[in-house]
A and B are shown apart, each in its own frame.
Chain A
Amino acid sequence: MNENIILLEQVNKNYQQLAALQNINLKLAAGEVLGLFGHNGAGKTTMMKLILGIVKAGSGKVSVFGVDPQNKKAWSSRKKIGYLPENVSFYDQLTGFEVLTYFARLKSADKKQVPQLLEKVGLSFAENRPVKTYSKGMRQRLGLAQAFLGDPKLLLLDEPTVGLDPTATKEFYNSVDQLKSNGASIILCSHILPGIEQHIDRAMILSGGKSVALGTLSTLRNIAQLPVLIKTQGIDDALQQNKNLAGFMIDQNHLQVPESEKINVIRELMSFKKLTDLQVETPTLAQIYQYFLGNNKIDTKQEKPL
């Protein structure tokens, strides 16, 4: 078996005139979590559909668990894949328990998993109520339970935390970490950037069907060269007089420092006796995301609106 769970090589996909994906290369190893980001219509969902074998690539090589997902041989591997679509709306007239039982049957998953998963996503209290009475967050949790059915080795989650309250979001990320430690590969597609950083190994940023960035967060940080923001307290006057520091100042108690200078600047600051507080803000995922998208504005403008 191939050690790469997912392998995409030079993948292109067009919908009529619209180039949905262009020259996508990706390798995803077992136990790796990839964050997939991009604006609406950037090709995130298309990429997931390609991996799931629902749409066929225009050109290039797609391989999941070592086989082309369009191939008949890929049938057996589908049991190992969990997918959460972007808009989940289940059979309204069925109860949560019945919906999950149905999907468990289709996936030949153990029936004992159904109550366990409902418990895990916190839906046990409503398992005998029809889905039409569920709130948005409850439907989302049911969708997650559905994706966790079987023992998935590959999870594709499209906007998994939409509609979830903070507690449920935290529990969701706990499940992600747990699945990852069991060796599952996960692709997380999300617009809600805060909170996702510590759970992903690598990030891919798509824009207009092209991959504009792919790598670990620290690699992306290095490429982006985004400055670190340092806030000080109690030494406003002294800062302006310090030749080493004055150049970085953007406000009387704000410093904007390149990543490489961060430690030197902090050392310098620590020597001030009057310093009462110090806040260091490294660039967030959201800022990195903005940086890479900003670089590709010309590309995105050429894209036709969907």
Chain B
Amino acid sequence: MNPIWAVALKEFQDGVRNRWFISITCIFALLAIGLSYYGSVASGQITPPSLSTTIASLSSLSVFIIPLIALLLCYDSFVGEQESGTLLLLLTYPVSHTQLLLGKFIGQGSIITLATIIGFGSAAILLGFSTNFASVLPAFALFILTASLLGLSFVGLAYIISLSVTEKSKAAGMALILWLFFVLIFDLGLLAILIGIEDGVTQQGLVQLMLFNPADLFRLINLAALDSGDVNGVLAVAINSDYSVSSLLLMMLAWVVSPLLFALFIFSKKSI
């Protein structure tokens, strides 16, 4: 067996064994089903919300939860093995740094991707039965695709953390800070620029700044595909940009690949 698959299989089995897989899937399914049926209650309506409202609220919640889950799942991926000494042992095996990193990424990435597909997919099917599949499926397909990419990009970011520190607790702390930065501080900063500095950034400039944050990219793609009436905040300004969905998707893909490449670079320089 190719070592990449051996590592990937082990990581995947680990994820299933310690109940990560089942709990992530359940969280996603509950979130999606709950929001699609009862999402409008908060705004005082009893009728089921429109599809775009559902996707909008799902995106706003997922943007917090998915990065957190990915970071929690993967922050100890390398530092944990380093602490227990198995990383040293693995490197004496006929396994290259690249194979080990890719194997872990494929294994843990499939946990997140599969959980996203099954969790949100089940909600999409339920919603499809009560409304019509023709409109639900494309919207959810894009949502699931971007949610997976968001998860994968934070897996890569978690590997960077896991490879740059030598203690598990430090990795956990850094993961938390990274999460806070991308989902909260970054946007607060953008808002501050918008409000505080008159003509500080153009609309185009704002969108360009958002490309530096995978979480914002995720929201941008999903909200741009909706009726803009359901969207407010910084994003409302940004979604009327002239970036096409496919080019934004490519940017997200870059956010998956580049952290991985950087992690590999750190790994190759790391002394065990």
A→B interface (CB under 8 Å)? 52-55, 75-76, 78-79, 81, 83, 85, 87-91, 93, 102-103, 105-108, 146
Contacts and interface: CB of A to CB of B under 8 A. Distances in A.
Interface in B79-112: 84-86, 88-96
Interface residues on chain B, size class: 20 to 34
Nearest to B5: A105
Contacts of A53: 92
26 contacts: A53-B92, A54-B88, A54-B91, A75-B94, A75-B96, A76-B94, A78-B92, A79-B94, A85-B85, A85-B88, A88-B85, A89-B84, A89-B85, A89-B86, A91-B84, A91-B86, A93-B14, A93-B17, A102-B6, A105-B3, A106-B7, A106-B90, A106-B93, A106-B94, A108-B94, A146-B89
B86 A107 contact: no
B43 interface: no
Shortest 10 CB-CB contacts between residues of A and residues of B: A105-B6, A78-B94, A89-B84, A83-B92, A52-B92, A106-B93, A105-B1, A87-B85, A106-B3, A106-B6
A102 B84 contact: no
A85 B93 CA distance: 12
A15 to B, nearest CB: 9
Given A78-B93, A88-B89, A90-B86, 9 more contacts: A55-B271, A76-B94, A78-B94, A83-B92, A93-B18, A105-B3, A106-B7, A106-B90, A106-B95
B84 A90 contact: yes
Contacts of B6: 102, 105-106
A78 B3 CA distance: 13
B76 to A, nearest CB: 12
B272 interface: yes
Dominant secondary structure at the A interface: loop
Contacts of A102: 6, 10
Contacts of B85: 85, 87-89
Interface of B is mostly: helix
Contacts of A108: 1, 94
A90 to B, nearest CB: 6
Contacts of A83: 89, 92
Contacts of B9: 105
A53 B90 CA distance: 12
A152 to B, nearest CB: 11
Contacts of A52: 92
Contacts of A88: 85, 89
A81 B93 CA distance: 8
A9 to B, nearest CB: 22
Contacts of A93: 14, 17-18
A78 B10 CA distance: 21
A87 B85 CA distance: 7
A291 to B, nearest CB: 33
A49 B96 CA distance: 16
Nearest to B99: A106
A54 B92 CA distance: 7
Given A91-B86, A93-B14, A107 B93 contact: yes
A263 to B, nearest CB: 48
Contacts of A90: 84, 86
A108 B6 CA distance: 10
Contacts of A105: 1, 3, 6, 9
A170 to B, nearest CB: 26
Contacts of B93: 78, 103, 106-107
Contacts of A55: 271
A255 B195 CA distance: 96
